[in-house]
């Protein structure tokens, strides 16, 4: 269990700064390139759990790389290379201060708002009489602010434009890209016997051009249902089978943790950590249809460093 990446602190050629997120460590190389290391950290309830999950970083990085490649005809994306199974290197872009959330089904946050009596979200009306996990007539766009601290907040198209977060011209492009990306992701998921329920996309700009940035269609940024049995479960009022990290949240809840003040993260023993690792590998194989090839993790820190150093050297020539 020691061969996981839970923290990095490399010093690369022309490195300007390092951003550490819940899961990703992002190195800025000369304001030209970003090196994104997808760690084995896992978070739930806005808390990073104390142990890393073997191969989790590889799973997320390789799923994202696959979908970036599969959608590059729709919108240019930031990816330049994947020099290591846990690393993507790409263009440094100035991110837009909104996240483009798109929902095909009434679930999660949207359902909680609906259940409380609200009939619109982000200025988008939702019809009366819907039930949890029901499909919308057409996908709805429910953007959020991109908060540097605290939680992201729902925001409407009109508010985004009036507050100057994104120009109207750019925002209409973001909407168009989001709808097309979701349609592509939906079709790809369907082929794998899955439903892409909802997801989020992030965009940035470089030299006046819009790029898709960060990860897409991973189980950390998207919600999937199993297609088989979806209709039957809806008719019976049963919960849908999800392909996500929801099982980790359920384990924490069962062990008395929901991220509330005074609560302690339950001990993650080796059996639990192994089971989470196996579940992420299962997610990879179900989403991609490919057999997961475990990378050599005997000296994973050195492997990552050597692969990144070589890539940066070639880019900076």
In the block, which residue shows the tokens 């300007």? 16
| Distance between first and last Cα of the chain | 38
pLDDT for position 149: 58
Sequential pLDDT tens for the chain (317 residues): 458 999 999 999 999 999 999 899 999 999 999 999 999 999 988 889 999 999 999 999 999 999 999 999 999 999 999 999 999 999 999 999 999 999 999 999 999 999 999 999 999 999 999 999 999 999 999 999 986 655 679 999 999 999 999 999 999 999 999 999 999 999 999 999 999 999 999 999 999 999 999 999 998 899 999 999 999 999 999 999 988 887 898 899 999 998 888 999 999 999 999 999 999 999 999 999 999 999 999 899 999 999 999 999 999 98
Instruction: Please report the pLDDT score of residue 162 as a whole number.
Output: 97
Of 296, 70, 107, give the one whose Cα is nearest residue 188.
70
Supply 39's token pair: 């760690």
Q: Which CATH number fits domain 95-242: 3.40.50.970, 3.30.470.20, 3.40.50.1000, 1.10.3470.10?
A: 3.30.470.20
pTM score, two decimals?
0.92
Q: Element (H or E) spanning 136, and its range?
A: strand 135-141
The SS3 of residue 118 is coil
**pLDDT computed for residue 2 by the predictor:** 58
- What was the pLDDT predicted at 243? 86
Beta bridge partners of 77: 212
Helices 270-288 and 246-254, packing angle to 10 deg: 160
The pair of structure tokens assigned to 158 is 């009109």
pLDDT attached to residue 1: 44
CA distance 245 to 223: 9
User: Would you state the pLDDT for residue 46?
Assistant: 82
Residue with tokens 């384990």: 251
- Extents of the domains making up the chain: 95-242
Which residues, listed in sequence order, are joined to residue 200 by a DSSP beta bridge? 101
Alpha helix stretches (DSSP H) within 50-140: 56-70, 108-115
Q: Which helix (H) or strand (E) holds 79?
A: strand 79-84
pLDDT for the residue numbered 151: 64
Give residue 45's pLDDT. Answer: 85
State the pLDDT at residue 26: 97
Collapsing DSSP states into helix, strand and coil, what is residue 141?
Answer: strand
């Amino acid at each position: 269990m020691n061969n996981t990446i839970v923290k990095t602190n490399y010093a690369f050629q022309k490195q300007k700064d390092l951003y550490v997120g819940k899961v990703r460590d992002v190195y800025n190389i000369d304001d030209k390139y970003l090196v994104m290391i997808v760690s084995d950290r896992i978070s739930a309830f806005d808390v990073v759990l104390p142990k890393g999950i073997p191969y989790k970083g590889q799973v997320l990085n390789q799923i994202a790389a696959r979908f970036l490649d599969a959608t590059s005809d729709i919108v240019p994306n930031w990816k330049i290379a994947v020099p290591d199974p846990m690393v993507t290197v790409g263009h440094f872009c100035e991110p837009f201060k909104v996240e483009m959330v798109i929902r095909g089904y009434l679930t999660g946050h949207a359902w909680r708002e609906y259940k409380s009596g609200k009939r619109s979200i982000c200025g988008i009306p939702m019809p009366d009489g819907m039930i949890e996990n029901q499909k919308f007539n057409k996908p709805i766009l429910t953007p959020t602010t991109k908060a540097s601290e605290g939680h992201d907040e729902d925001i409407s198209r009109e508010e985004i434009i009036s507050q100057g977060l994104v120009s109207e011209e750019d925002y209409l492009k973001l909407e168009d890209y989001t709808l097309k990306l979701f349609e592509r992701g939906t079709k790809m998921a369907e082929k794998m016997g899955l439903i892409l329920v909802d997801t989020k996309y992030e965009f940035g700009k470089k030299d006046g051009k819009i790029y898709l940035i960060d990860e897409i269609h991973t189980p950390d940024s998207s919600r999937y249902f199993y297609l088989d049995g979806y209709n039957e479960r809806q008719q019976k009022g049963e919960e849908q089978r999800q392909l996500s990290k929801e099982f980790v949240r359920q384990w924490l809840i069962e062990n008395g943790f929901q991220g509330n003040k005074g609560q302690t993260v339950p001990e993650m023993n080796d059996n639990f950590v192994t089971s989470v690792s196996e579940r992420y590998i299962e997610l990879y194989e179900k989403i991609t249809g490919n057999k997961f090839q475990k990378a050599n993790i005997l000296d994973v820190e050195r492997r990552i460093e050597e692969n990144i150093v070589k890539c940066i050297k070639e880019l900076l020539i």
